[in-house]
Amino acid sequence: EAEVAQSPRYKITEKSQAVAFWCDPISGHATLYWYRQILGQGPELLVQFQDESVVDDSQLPKDRFSAERLKGVDSTLKIQPAELGDSAMYLCASSFLGTSTYEQYFGPGTRLTVT
């Protein structure tokens, strides 16, 4: 069964350092989502791509976070500089199309710890 791939699974970094996460969605899925899940909370959408275009980045802290999906396939989420409050699970999801009726498939996530 096709899965969403994410790497690394775990990342420890010092504050003020740069960190990057990678996501490879299920083949053929045009829509890609990045969520942040703080411990004890539900996931919160950071950014949504339709192919290579951003359709929603209203909750992305743009002063330090950036996301790209250059060829409309895999995607990278970057944080620079990292802050202690960025410690969280970063989840990537993909769906066939970006409408409410299509199921989002989630990857295993990257757990980030900022020290």
Q: Catalog residues that contact other proteins under the rule CB under 8 A.
A: 4, 31, 33, 40-45, 48, 50, 55-56, 91, 93, 95, 98-104, 106-109, 111
Q: Which is nearer to other proteins, 56 or 68 (CB)?
A: 56
Distance CA 50, CA 45 (A): 14
Q: Which is nearer to other proteins, 75 or 95 (CB)?
A: 95
Closest contact distance (angstroms) between CB of 77 and other proteins is 15
Burial tier of 49 (Cβ tally within 10 Å: 0-12, 13-18, 19+) = buried
Q: Which is nearer to other proteins, 60 or 80 (CB)?
A: 60
Closest contact distance (angstroms) between CB of 51 and other proteins is 13
Q: Which is nearer to other proteins, 6 or 86 (CB)?
A: 6
Closest contact distance (angstroms) between CB of 6 and other proteins is 8
For residue 31, what are its two tokens?
A: 């829509």
Closest contact distance (angstroms) between CB of 81 and other proteins is 26
Angle in degrees, CA 103, 44, 28, rounded to 5: 35
Phi-psi region of 109 (alpha: psi -120 to 50; beta: other; left: phi over 0): left
Which of 79, 103, 104, 93 minimizes the C-alpha distance to 14?
Answer: 79
